[in-house]
Amino acid sequence: MTKSLLLWSIESLTLQIETMSAFCISLFESVASLNQSSFPAGFVFGTASSAYQYEGAAFEGGKGPSVWDTFTHMYPDRIADHSNGDVATDSYHRYKEDIGMMKDIGFQAYRFSISWSRILPSGKGKVNQEGITYYNNLINELLSNGLQPYITLFHWDLPQALEDEYGGFLSPKIVQDFAYYAELCFSEFGDRVKHWITLNEPYIYSIQGYANGQFPPARCSKWLSPNCTIGDSSTEPYIVAHHQILAHATAVKIYSEKYRITQKGQIGISLNAPWFVPLSQSKSDKEAAFQAIAFMYDWFMEPLYSGAYPAAMVNNVGKRLPKFSRREYLMVKGSFDFIGLNYYTAYYAANVPCQQRNLSILTDSCTTSTPVRNGVPIGPKAASDWLYIYPQGIQDILEYTKEKFNDPIIYITENGVDEVNNGTKSLDDKLRIFSIGQHLLYIQRAIRNGVKVRGYFAWSFLDNFEWSIGYTVRFGIIYVDFKDGLKRYHKRSALWFKTFLHQ
C-alpha cells in the first residue's frame, strides 16, 4: 500500500468513526435535551398543508376546477389507489376543529395554500366572494387562537381554465395572471398576513408535469413515457420553470412597491432542497454532487440571488435554457425576503457521461443518483420509495445556502416522514419522532454556525392526499380515519410536539 493510499484509508476510517460517534451523540442529545427553549427567541414552530391535499369541497362554494381536479378524475389509474382530493381531509368544513388541535399542541403558526380557482374560478377576472370569505374566516380563526398564517399562493393547483386557454405556465401570459391573483390576495388578506410564499417547489411542478408526465398536465417526450401523448422533456420544463421564476418576481415586485410599507410583511418562496453526497471520493463524483444540486436547487436559487442561471446549467443545456432580459434580470435578482426550504431526504450522486441523443432535463446534469451505496441505504427508509431519512443533510443544505447565497433568512417550510397506510389505526409513530428530533438537532447546529433559520414547519399536520400515491401513505402527526368520518386522533408524534413546545 502506498503512503498516500494508507493516509486516505486512515482518514476515511477516522471519518466513519467520527460520523458514527456524532450520530450516537446526536441521538442521545435529541432525546435528552431538545425542546423549544433550545432554539432562539422568536423561532417559529408550525405545521404545513396545501389546499388540494386538505380542503376538499372541490365543487362547493363557487370554486372552479384546478388541474388536479381534472387530472384525478380523467386519469384515476395514475393515482396509486385511484383516489382524489374531492373530500381530502375536509378542512374546508373542519378548519376550526383542526386549528383548535394546533393551539392545544402549542404550534405558533400554520402554513397553508390558497386555492387559486377557489377565489378566481376562471383564474382571472370575476372574484368568487365565497372563496374570499372562507380564507378570511380561516385567517381570523388562526389569529384568534394565537397562530400566525403563512400563506402559499401556488401549491400546484393551477386553475384549469388557464391551462385550457393558453397552456398555463408554458405561456408567458401566466405571469400577469399570477400577478393579478397575487395582488388580490395581498389586498384582501395582507392586513393580517405577514408571511407570503409565492410558489411551492417549482422544481417539482416543472419536472413532474413536463419532464416525466406523472403530474398534470402530464406532458413529456413520448419516448419517455406511454402516459405522454404530447410534450418535450428537453425544453418544456425549462420554459415552465422560467415562467414560474418570472411570476414569483413579479408578485414580489408588486408586494414591495404597493403593500410592504403599510402591511409590514415579508415575501419569499419555498424550494425543495435534498442534499447530495458523492457516491465515492473520486473528483468526478464530488463534482457530480454539486452538479446535481445545481440542476435542482440552484436552478431557482441562483437566479433569485444573482439574476442568472447556474453556470453548470448554461454549459450543459445551452440554447434550450431560456434567458432573462435586462429588465427581468433586475426584477428577479434579490426578489425575496426569505427562502423556504423543503427538506426530506438525501442521495448519493455519481458522474455519468452526458447523453448525445434523446435529450431530456432528466439527464442534462450528466449525473445519476441513488439512495444506496454498497448495498447500504443512506438512512432509514420511510414508506415512500424516494424518502430515506438523512438528518445531517438539513444542516448541509442550510450551510450551503448561507455560504453560496449571501446568508439569507431561511424557514424550513416542510420536513417530514411517512408511514404506510395499511388500513389499521396505528398512532405509535416512533420513526417520525426520531426523524423530527434528529432534524431539529441538525437545524440547531446550523443556527449555532450562524445560519439564519427562523422557523420549522412539520409536514404534515394531518394525514392527507399525497398526489400520485393518494392515501397509501400517511405524513401526518394527526391520524385521519378515512374509513370513519375523517375522525382525527393524536399520533405519538403530536403528543411529543406538545411536550416539546410547552418546555
The burial class, CB within 10 Å (0-12 / 13-18 / 19+), for 11 is exposed
Q: Which of 188, 414, 419, 466 is catalytic?
A: 414
Phi, psi of 454 (to 5 degrees): -110, -10
Strands 44-48 and 452-458: parallel
Question: What is the SS3 assignment for 453?
Answer: strand
Q: Which residues contact 105 (CB under 8 A, 6 or more apart)?
A: 494, 497, 498, 501
d(CA 381, CA 391): 12
d(CA 260, CA 247): 18
Locate cell 391520524: which residue?
479
CB 21 within 8 A of CB 431: no
Q: Which amino acid is at 442?
A: Y
CB 327 within 8 A of CB 250: no
- Rounded to 5°, the CA angle 471-472-475 comes to 75
Question: What is the SS3 assignment for 349?
Answer: strand
d(CA 493, CA 500): 10
d(CA 177, CA 162): 9
Which of 453, 241, 237, 400 shows the shortest CA–CA distance to 332?
241
Active site residue 165: no
Active site residue 287: no
Q: How far is CA 92 from the centre of its chain?
A: 22
d(CA 171, CA 122): 16
Residue 195, C-alpha cell as written in the block: 408571511
Long-range CB contacts for residues 313-318, cutoff 8 Å, separation at least 24: 313/364, 316/354, 316/364, 316/365, 316/366, 317/238, 317/361, 317/364
Q: Which of 55, 141, 188, 201 is catalytic?
A: 201
In our burial notation (b when 16+ CB lie closer than 10 A, e otherwise), range 321-347 reads: bbebeeebeebbeebbbbbbbbbbbbb
Active site residues: 201, 414
